[in-house]
Structure 1
Amino acid sequence: MAGTPGTPRVLRAMNDRAALDLLLEHGPLSRTRIGRLTGLSKPTASQLLARLEAAGLVVATGTDGGRPGPSAQLYALNAGAAHVGALDVTPERIVAAVADLAGETVGTFELPSPARRGPGTPGAVERVVTALDGAVAAAGLTRSALHRVVIGTPGAFDPHTGRLRYASHLPGWHSPTLLDELAAVLPMPVEYENDVNLAAVAEQRLGAARGHEDFVLLWNQEGIGAALVIGGRLHRGWTGGAGEVGFLPVPGAPLVRQVTRVGSGGYQELAGVQALPALAAELGITDLPPHEEAAPGRDPHLGPALALLGRAAQETGGPYRQLLERYATALATGLAAVVAVLDPEVVVLSGAAVTAGGEALRELVGAELAELAAARPRLVTGEVQDQPVLRGALESALSATRDEVFDTSR
């Protein structure tokens, strides 16, 4: 029977959680240091550590030798007490990772998409299992060791139908029975999240959005998307489609008519990387990067677009600078609509296109946004640039798992 507020059992559990969070934040601590940080007496701190050590959540790990006086025993979070898995699914590959309770990545595996699809081609479920098992094996574990798995995909699974929406470019993931099939083969709780939302989780926990309750993350890579965090929580929408700003209608500004297909007017058409080669041609840029054959499932425009942005970020004048300025205007045009509705404190710019454009692109987008929007959010570049979707999936899985494992009242 669960304890009631104020009972010794509940108070012990609260103190246990506080101590575990401190070990997670600071690393190994002595009993005295834990007592000071939690406000507990030495005897109570000793009982707490003995309780957590018996539960397998804390381990003794050396001493704080080198300081004046007797050495004190140090205690650390037992990182091996639980493990989580994460998958970043794109049309070109699945990347899987396993992390321990401290957040350390202990195994990864990448499974490329098949070059051709046909009879005998592995389906989505088989590919997920293969990728996950590869990461688990790299970590020296078995699948049953995972407490939870979070899978990030483009689009979102509609919570009412269970079907993937807004991601027609992800073949094999649109079966109405897909989630049931995955649940049948994976023994642990599995959650599904939009990839841009997970990039926002990574920035909220580890990067540029730390400490912010209301922010927007604008993602620009092969597609444009946004994550909306309101009051510290992701806003997903009724069908999971909140933030699918690539579909945002953009009124017929001159720039829209210049760089989009006739009659489309969508933000993706206006400011996606697909628009950059045509914009470069308009500006008379002839020394375009060589066109390379894209990997299966990868947008062939991405490589040339990133090369254009990288070159433009280095120029202070001429057609490349014009390209960067006009592209910044395109990005700010759609972003102004998002800012007008949400009025966020911070806008985080993320994705390969933003990284390629660098600080020069961020400054230009900020200047344009100041002209277009009444609100003045702070514009920052994302700090989690190494696999932000995968990192966000791990952070999401870890948050839920720590809530479960650290709750010693259970």
Structure 2
Amino acid sequence: MTTNGRTPGQPALLRVLNDRAALTLLLDSGAMTRNDLAQRTGLSKPTAAEIIRRLEAAALIRGAGTDSTAGRRGPSAVVYEAITDRDLAVAVDVQLVDVRSTVVDAAGRAYPVASHRMTDAEYRSPGADIVAAAVTRAATAAGVDEDLVTAVAVGVQASVDHATDTLTFTDGLPGWPREQVAASLSRDLGLRVVVENDANLAAIAERNMGAGRVHGSFALLWMAEGLGMALDVDGRLLTGASGAAGEIGYLSVPADALSIDPTATLVADLVSEAAIEALAAEHGITARDGTAADWRQVLPQLSGLSAQHPFTAALGERVGHNVLPALAVADPETVVLHGPTGIAGGPGLAAAVTAWLRTRTRWSTAVVPPGVPDTPVLHGARHVLIDVVRTALADRLDRISDDAPAPAPAERP
């Protein structure tokens, strides 16, 4: 194996590994002194000093004051911090007509989320225009220079085949390309663009910071204007041969579900906006003025209902029919209900689905509410982009190391 032409065991390769480890430590743990860096990495102080020199030369770190800890002898030590405000990215979530976006840096700091509801003309405009506008809104909300953005990750309601760079099941993306998607967006925007299915990004968020952290496998049912599912096994997303794994919304309604909704033809129809509105009307849930409530007016009321409420129980049965295909095929340890409906339903809806499965089917799989209910797609895209930005920083460090004269042999961390 080689790294930039270096063979294992050479001092240059060890320098690169030490430099990358130190940069990652500064990004993850925050500012520290040279001595702190030496202690945390297990390297000598002279080697830590060389690492700091190289990171400064690559404009990856800078001095951030001094450590005047009480009791320290001698002059105050310089504290160094990673520079994260020069290489930025933007996470974008495109949900039919709603677009959210936020800035991402290598340290994973939180930035404001910009939200926008597209007009009909915007909705039908080219995908590059939608993403470009989202990047501008995110940069403005964060108060950063848009020119510092070098990468974008976009979550969409579609299947993404990364091998061929194509989109399928693109019902809600009229102006987007179908082929060479990431390549054409990258070219049009002059940025590196990563495109991913929204449910898969939500699953990445749940694996890293939510319900997926304590399970070896889980399925995530995404219920929004569309319906989809993500499957995670030991931290690996199962996307299928063409990226279409989890597109369960296109399955036909099973025979035993026709009795609860004779008009439904696809399983997605059981939990569609129209279905939820009709179910709410059937159970006396209305808008504040007493008129029929639309989908967006129903969801806030769902969050306050228990699993035993007739509306929640009825919706739980419908959701259960959508969960069954994942149980039969993948048998995950748990199922996470997500998307606007899953988030609004919370523990009550999750408990209702669990109860239906255990009393009406042979499955006893636990169904749980989201662990990341707030902008899950953006959180997933953020995790993807942190890796992208850090890789770009490491590449810059490698170029500096290639050009620099070889110092004394580096230590193994």
TM-score bucket of the superposed structures, by smaller chain: 0.7 to 0.9
Aligned pair partner of 1:2 in 2, 5, 18 = 5
Query: 2:299 aligned with 1:312, yes or no?
Result: no
In 2, distance between residues paired with 1:53 and 1:359?
49
Whether the 8 Å contact between 1:200 and 1:227 is mirrored in structure 2 is yes
1:377 deviates by 5.2
Q: Hey, what does 1:297 align to over in structure 2?
A: none
Query: Per-residue deviation at 1:306?
Result: 0.7
Deviation at 1:155, TM superposition (A): 0.9
| 1:326 CA drift (Å) | 2.4
In the superposition, relative to structure 1, how do residues 162 and 13 fare at CA in structure 2: closer, same or farther (>3 Å)?
closer
Q: How many residues align?
A: 393
Alpha-carbon distance between aligned partners in 2 of 1:49 and 1:260, rounded to the nearest angstrom: 68
Question: What does the per-residue CA deviation read over 1:127-165, in whole Å, with 9 as the maximum and x for residues that have no partner?
Answer: 322332333355555554223211111112445765532
- Residue in 1 aligned with 2:320? 332
Instruction: State how far apart, in whole Å, the 1-side matches of 2:357 and 2:70 are.
Output: 54
- What is the rounded CA distance, in whole Å, between the counterparts of 1:30 and 1:372 in structure 2? 61
Question: In percent, how many aligned pairs have the same letter?
Answer: 34
Q: How far apart, in 2, do the equivalents of 1:132 and 1:84 lie?
A: 9
1:112 corresponds in structure 2 to 117
**Residue in structure 2 matched with residue 395 of structure 1 by the alignment:** 383
Q: Give the whole-Å Cα distance in 1 for the aligned partners of 2:346 and 2:129.
A: 39
1:393 CA drift (Å): 1.7
1:128 aligned counterpart, secondary structure: helix
What TM-score results when the alignment is normalised by the length of structure 2? Answer: 0.82
Contact 1:333 1:372 (8 Å CA) reproduced: no
Taking a change above 3 Å as real, the CA distance of residues 396 and 312 of structure 1, as seen in their structure-2 partners, is same
Q: What's the offset of the Cα at 1:100?
A: 2.1
Structure 2: distance between partners of 1:79 and 1:276: 44
**Residue 398 of structure 2 is aligned to residue 409 of structure 1:** yes
- Matched with 2:90 is 85
Q: 1:362 touches 1:381 (CA, 8 Å); kept in 2?
A: yes
Are the counterparts in 2 of residues 289 and 308 from structure 1 also a CA contact under 8 Å?
A: no
User: Under a length normalisation based on structure 1, what TM-score does the superposition of the two structures give?
Assistant: 0.83
Q: Is 1:186 aligned with 2:189?
A: yes
> Structure 2 vs 1, CA of residues 131 and 355 (structure 1 numbering), >3 Å: closer, same or farther?
closer
In structure 2, how many angstroms separate the alpha carbons of the residues matched to 1:28 and 1:141? 22
Q: Which moved more, 1:372-381 or 1:96-105?
A: 372-381
Shift of residue 55 of structure 1?
A: 1.6
Compared with structure 1, are the counterparts of its residues 37 and 215 closer, same or farther at alpha carbon in structure 2 (3 Å cutoff)? farther
Once the two structures are TM-superposed, the CA of residue 194 in structure 1 deviates from its matched residue by 0.8
- How far apart in 1 are the matches of 2:51 and 2:195? 36
What do residues 316-359 of structure 1 show as CA deviations (whole Å, max 9, x unaligned)?
A: 76xxx122122223223332331232233443322222222222
2-side partners of 1:346 and 1:67: how far apart?
50
User: Mind listing any 5+ residue stretches in structure 1 that lack a counterpart?
Assistant: 294-299
SS at match of 1:328: helix
| Equivalent residue letter for 1:312 | L
In structure 1, what is the Cα distance between the partners aligned to 2:271 and 2:143? 44
1:77 Cα offset (Å): 1.7
- Worse overlay, 388-397 or 186-195: 388-397
Give the aligned partner of residue 286 of structure 2: 288
Whether the 8 Å contact between 1:107 and 1:136 is mirrored in structure 2 is no
- Pick from 350, 357, 382: which aligns with 1:362? 350
Tell me which amino acid in the other structure corresponds to 1:274.
A
Return the offset for 1:84.
0.9
Q: What is the aligned partner in structure 2 of residue 154 from structure 1?
A: 157
User: Which of residues 216, 219, 224 in structure 2 aligns to 1:216?
Assistant: 219
Does the CA-based 8 Å contact 1:85-1:148 persist in structure 2?
yes
Q: Mean Cα displacement is larger for which, 48-57 or 135-144? A: 135-144
